[in-house]
Structure 1
């Protein structure tokens, strides 16, 4: 109904969203989707939205949600989303695990990573992955208000790729009425620098803001006497515009536009038997432009409707330039995504709240390769399509009921149905329970189905590495990966000074997409691999943490997480998943308006394959800041003070690339916001 078939493409998608909105009509409750809202500036910062698509206090949230504010991220010495989350208990953010993909900082949750964890910006899916991994280090903090992380299958609300969980990166309107601004300046060793700035104005009915960021980092040398780099030099730019308007007491509009550019320059030394060694420059340029529009209609009595439209463009260019040789390669990738979504809730008395949503999405991707090769005494340039223009369309309907039979208990069933252009329909149910017998104890349990749709690269032809003796061929007959997962946790507040939280999970996944040798397509000494739904796997784990505040000026947090994984197809653990992580953090407000923040993390050794393990490592981050005046702070710190670093001569080593990083900076807000 409502023209929801994905084959109508863009016009059909628009009709689908508009028709559903018309059907919902008056009486539908105000929808606060898992994106930003024009909430009053005084709204508490501990309100989260990602777990249920409705605003909830983090202390009373039905679905467990971890929250990292921008202020907390900066206390951790972070300049981007990857650094903000890499010390968070229960997740792993480590570019050392993805070296073959160009070192993206992807996130791993409950043992799942790459495109099995959904990354959102203001509730909208981020495109532009590298080998399935969204590089969180390419997302600066300049316009970020907070980052919310929900673990476990979330496909009932968000659809494909939410098997391991969801990361939602949220912006916000200006906090102060009138003109305001913010600047952050920072210098780093290894050499690098950061400039982030924001300017905004908020009036009675209109607000607008502009954000810019520029960050430069030197490459990490290989230290083997060659010009090779362990990690590339990077230069990142960001320009963003945000605006909102209250057209009437019942209608609000919001718009956001963002341009991100990431330039990196890697260097590699390649030895060819009989020909010697060649130095390869590996420049890469990525541009992503995103526009997101939102309309919120308040229908009275807490009722309303939220309509969103988004579009993203991604352009990536990767070169392989051999010095003193014309034998070069250029790989270009183009992608777009457009989406329409309508989300509503229906308040049914005092005990029931319905969430009803619809989404239509269309994504296109293409990838080409231009290669210069020697043909006799001449150089010939060959061009080919690695991924022919591929179109992936989906239409979805989803619903959720929050029922409180009594104040202490919330029962939340939900279900999502999606129709995909390539492989038909998928249904994902979920059930969440939250019980709060006292004001100090909370118990939560959630279970549901997750799924991941095959990507355009997996469906189409991916790449040809015949030079190295293999190539990978896409499979248009792939089906979605599917999982069932259960998560639970308990939170206990003993007193204002002491609190505890413990949680656990288990997940079963089937039809995991992996490489498989295709003998029928192998010839001439070149092995051909194809994507297939071949694997079954399981993950399980627990985490415990305690928060302590023994005195007013000192707070501490300690935690431990255990992860167990099993590749049932190959009868071994999943590769690159560290089983043990320990975390400890301390924040002290010292005399002379000084603030000391330390974070210590221990990561155990990790299974890579039957004969290989990545060594464990420890990291220590320290930051000392002093308030100059209200709203201004100077700070100095060191990340990875213990200098844990990957050994480039050790195969499978997944320790961090960067080593020790020392920094000095300044943050200033104008006008300053009184505490």
Structure 2
């Protein structure tokens, strides 16, 4: 929370007109496109194969043949844009909204107007612990081992169970090849005039990562490390308050694989994440500002394991699991005196197994089960903040899927998941998807997709048991053990059309209806001894619907343009009002231009319309536009130097306006170098 009495950022002309900023963005993109169009076409390149995805069906399928619409952020995009965290890797996915986690320095994600609580984040198909007991902080996963990221929007509960109402984000780690290979990256960055030191040329951000892969036919290994230190930023470096937290992040990982036969793979994976976060802000106690600070130390220890066997004729079996421990210790100070000490500890254990049967009468059957256990303990100044102390939840889930290949044209995917929760009993969620390949000529290809799914989300442990005592500020937030699970119905209808490998068009309509939506019920708040008591309630029915459109054009071998537009309409069906923090329109533009074999220039533009912040007052956060510029130069086959500017026009929220939720960070300039081992210069 930032004080309203902070001085407002100076308003630049383009800040007052988001459309003008977008026009500048388009002008830049167009200029580069025209320049690139003058380059002679490169010799015909070999056709590229469609990437293989697994998230939509829990089985391997080429991206252009999966009946479940899947969007991919590939490794080349991660390298081009110099993403350091999962949050940065996802910034240019159309329709995906990133916002700060309340009271923390991290970011959470929402899809198709559904909240972060309703989006499931996975690492190789296994869940990652929610950093606040409810939502995953995308900044807390560094990208050393990542091959690509798959995004499925809409209800996927027939495949992944509770918490997947809004969709699934699945991080896929890179495979390990025999021999020796790896990567080392080093970069430095500056927040310009907002560096805490007040000096623009100081390296306020330092980042380094290394990955080493090796092995032979039977044994493979990986060692990785990633360190990201950011000193934060302040609109007035001489003042106490910082608008950007100082954060030190580190991630270490090790993986061992055994391949006793060509059909069998066993693996063990261990990682440790550590973070130290420091916030500095003011609390206005009339007539003075009181300096406040909060220091938080976070650790996440993750141990994964698994095995897969592939038989003849398409028979395969896989079992894998993860055990994760997440701990957070935070201390809050006022005028350098300790005011509160809070400790939280979470544990997640998850095992999944599935069997894929050989094709039978044009049908591909899949059966599986998931076993899930989680617990949460949290205390403040030695007193528990959870009703009953440590709280727990367990669920056992079975799923079945039949992929019916009617012909070369029609494919029908049917799924059913049964879930038995320790506190909420049994629930069944069906899903059906249809894909029709309508055009498949030498030039044009086209397909239609339609899907229906039932979503289901069990209230998280904080919503049921949390006791957030903020009596000093006049309120408390109290969990409700009598909450009912949320449920949803998701409809998706889309079409895809492509011209060879030059042009691709993808349009998708979506409609999500949510029942028993869980929110803090402000209307039924009560006052006890002058302290307002808020509690979670199933108080709303909601609907989100809209359109997503994506166009990709490869003008020639050295020029690629991409545009994604999303329109979202949300409604509280009980009150008829718009849902808060859901922008109606968003636009993502991308350009990659290769003027020479060694150089690549990339632009990424983002526009987001205004969003409702407060239903009672009608307050709205203003629209905003940002532009990122990246340049990569290959020094030799194995080494690349790069520079970049994020938020080139320095569009930053007005910190004096509590309804402004525009970009938090202003302009960020950086430079670095990347070297790949195992490549011959």
Question: Quick check: TM above 0.5?
Answer: yes
Q: What is the match of residue 289 of structure 1?
A: 301
Tell me, yes or no, if the aligned pair for 1:101 and 1:131 is still in contact at 8 Å: no
Q: What is the match of residue 310 of structure 1?
A: 322
**In structure 2, which of residues 344, 347, 353 is the aligned counterpart of residue 342 of structure 1?**
353
Q: List 4+ stretches of structure 1 deviating above 4 A.
A: 517-521
CA distance in 2, matches of 1:582, 1:486: 22
SS at match of 2:144: coil
Q: What is the match of residue 43 of structure 2?
A: none
Task: Call closer, same or farther: CA 1:251–1:545 in 2, change over 3 Å.
Answer: closer
CA distance in 1, matches of 2:591, 2:674: 21
SS at match of 1:609: coil
CA distance in 2, matches of 1:620, 1:402: 42
Q: What is the match of residue 575 of structure 1?
A: 580
Q: What is the match of residue 515 of structure 2?
A: 510
State the TM-score, normalized to the length of structure 1. 0.88
Q: Render the CA deviation track for 1:485-532: whole Å, top value 9, x for unaligned.
A: 101211101343222111110000010111125979631100111111
Q: What is the match of residue 356 of structure 1?
A: 367
**In structure 1, which of residues 249, 259, 262 is the aligned counterpart of residue 275 of structure 2?**
262
Asked if residue 69 in structure 1 is aligned to residue 82 in structure 2, the reply is no
**In structure 2, which of residues 288, 292, 295 is the aligned counterpart of residue 280 of structure 1?**
292
SS at match of 1:245: strand
Task: Call closer, same or farther: CA 1:521–1:542 in 2, change over 3 Å.
Answer: closer
SS at match of 1:59: helix
Q: What is the match of residue 215 of structure 2?
A: 202
Tell me, yes or no, if the aligned pair for 1:518 and 1:528 is still in contact at 8 Å: no
Q: Render the CA deviation track for 1:306-327: whole Å, top value 9, x for unaligned.
A: 011210000011210122435x
CA distance in 1, matches of 2:449, 2:638: 38
Q: What is the match of residue 193 of structure 1?
A: 206
**In structure 2, which of residues 480, 491, 496 is the aligned counterpart of residue 491 of structure 1?**
496
Q: What is the match of residue 676 of structure 2?
A: 669
Asked if residue 438 in structure 1 is aligned to residue 439 in structure 2, the reply is yes
CA distance in 2, matches of 1:543, 1:598: 21
Q: What is the match of residue 146 of structure 2?
A: 144
CA distance in 1, matches of 2:637, 2:82: 20
CA distance in 2, matches of 1:673, 1:401: 46
CA distance in 2, matches of 1:226, 1:320: 19
Q: Render the CA deviation track for 1:597-654: whole Å, top value 9, x for unaligned.
A: 1111211111112420001111111111111111211011111111111111111211
Residue 477 of structure 1: CA displacement?
1.2
Which stretches in structure 2 are left out of the alignment for 5+ residues? 1-47, 192-203
**In structure 2, which of residues 61, 64, 86 is the aligned counterpart of residue 59 of structure 1?**
64
Tell me, yes or no, if the aligned pair for 2:590 and 2:603 is still in contact at 8 Å: yes
Asked if residue 588 in structure 1 is aligned to residue 588 in structure 2, the reply is no
Q: What is the match of residue 122 of structure 2?
A: 120
Q: What is the match of residue 248 of structure 1?
A: 261
Q: What is the match of residue 377 of structure 2?
A: 366
CA distance in 2, matches of 1:152, 1:673: 44
Residue 146 of structure 1: CA displacement?
0.7
SS at match of 2:229: strand
Paired residues, number:
615
Task: Call closer, same or farther: CA 1:45–1:240 in 2, change over 3 Å.
Answer: farther
Tell me, yes or no, if the aligned pair for 1:519 and 1:528 is still in contact at 8 Å: no
Q: What is the match of residue 650 of structure 2?
A: 643
Residue 123 of structure 1: CA displacement?
0.6
Q: Render the CA deviation track for 1:401-426: whole Å, top value 9, x for unaligned.
A: 00011111110110101011111111
Residue 133 of structure 1: CA displacement?
2.4
Residue 240 of structure 1: CA displacement?
0.5
Residue 349 of structure 1: CA displacement?
2.4
SS at match of 1:163: coil
SS at match of 2:380: strand
CA distance in 1, matches of 2:484, 2:589: 42
Residue 299 of structure 1: CA displacement?
3.1
SS at match of 2:554: strand
Q: What is the match of residue 24 of structure 1?
A: none
- Once the two structures are superposed, the pairs formed by residues 578-657 of structure 1 within 5 Å of their partners are 578-591=583-596, 593-610=598-615, 611-657=618-664
Task: Call closer, same or farther: CA 1:130–1:652 in 2, change over 3 Å.
Answer: farther
Asked if residue 329 in structure 1 is aligned to residue 330 in structure 2, the reply is no
Residue 300 of structure 1: CA displacement?
2.4
SS at match of 2:521: strand
CA distance in 2, matches of 1:521, 1:367: 25
Tell me, yes or no, if the aligned pair for 2:525 and 2:535 is still in contact at 8 Å: no
Q: What is the match of residue 169 of structure 1?
A: 171
Which stretches in structure 1 are left out of the alignment for 5+ residues? 1-42, 371-381
CA distance in 1, matches of 2:514, 2:251: 37
Q: Render the CA deviation track for 1:129-171: whole Å, top value 9, x for unaligned.
A: 2262211111111111111000010011000111110000111
Tell me, yes or no, if the aligned pair for 2:234 and 2:241 is still in contact at 8 Å: yes
- Once the two structures are superposed, the pairs formed by residues 220-259 of structure 1 within 5 Å of their partners are 220-223=233-236, 226-259=239-272
Q: What is the match of residue 27 of structure 1?
A: none
Task: Call closer, same or farther: CA 1:224–1:218 in 2, change over 3 Å.
Answer: closer
Q: What is the match of residue 42 of structure 2?
A: none
- Once the two structures are superposed, the pairs formed by residues 511-526 of structure 1 within 5 Å of their partners are 511-517=516-522, 522-526=527-531
Residue 64 of structure 1: CA displacement?
0.8
Residue 350 of structure 1: CA displacement?
5.2
Tell me, yes or no, if the aligned pair for 2:133 and 2:346 is still in contact at 8 Å: no
